[in-house]
Chain A
Amino acid sequence: MKLHEIKSILDAEILCGGDKLSDEISLACGCDLMSDVLRFAKEDVVLLTGLTNIHVLKTAEMANIQCLVFVRDKTPAVEMVQEADELDMVIMKTRLPLYEACGKLYKEGLGDRSYE
């Protein structure tokens, strides 16, 4: 699924990386627990989360995750978005809660194999 499709399905707002929306992604992970992301998520997933602290970005960087979607209309700090931009990441935010955002993407065919 292309990132612009994810943006459209979630009616999301792009915070950075708008030039990379034609990139393709096949797996997703919805999680507020970075410990679990570090333990279970595969690389190249889109990470949907309601947490906006700097450790979400650091976790994503360590785990080679290039796309973050903040749910429940959560907005990360400007500095965090700038850092993500420098790391060539794509950040979006959506008004949808985590469950609904994941459900919509799954229903539209974004894979469910991000866990081992």
Chain B
Amino acid sequence: MKHAASFTRKDLETDLMNSIYEMDYQVGSRDFAAAGDASRSIKRTLQQIGVDTSVVRRIAIASYEAEMNIAIHSKGGKMYLSVNSDKVIVATEDFGPGIENVELAMTEGWSTATAEIREMGFGAGMGLPNMKKCADEFFIESKISEGTKIKMIFKL
């Protein structure tokens, strides 16, 4: 797993400058009716562009996990999609509260989700590990009280 040193805001700006398609989406805190809609939009966009079905599926699942995490755990945030000639980048940033122990949060089964979230079918502690599994490259950076940033790269 690569950490903060390999993921800076500047990296993302460079990626966005090289993109042939880009979009950003707002994700509301605890807005579970709308949560997932950004990922649906991302999936449909990639299908229209003609990205390979199996790659679209990995991107859609990872995006949805990331989007649900923002809705469930954060005070709200943003998602970015950038499509380049050789890769798709999905990045997220939220407004906190940040993850205390990222290594622990990357462990399958570890979760701080409430019973309400679990009743919805989420909060099993599979989100972050699943994002890492789906993406070709996965970067996470989190600072307590500031927020969490995630960048996922999918090769085309």
Contacts and interface: CB of A to CB of B under 8 A. Distances in A.
B124 A53 contact: no
B57 A64 contact: yes
A36 B60 contact: no
A71 to B, nearest CB: 14
A35 B36 contact: no
Interface in B80-99: none
Given A55-B36, A58-B36, A59-B64, A35 B43 contact: no
Interface residues of B, number: 26
> Binding site of B, secondary structure by majority: helix, strand, loop or mixed?
helix
Contacts of B43: 61-62
22 contacts: A33-B124, A34-B121, A35-B121, A35-B125, A35-B126, A35-B127, A36-B124, A38-B65, A38-B130, A51-B121, A53-B120, A55-B32, A55-B120, A55-B121, A55-B122, A58-B36, A59-B121, A61-B60, A62-B60, A62-B64, A63-B57, A64-B53
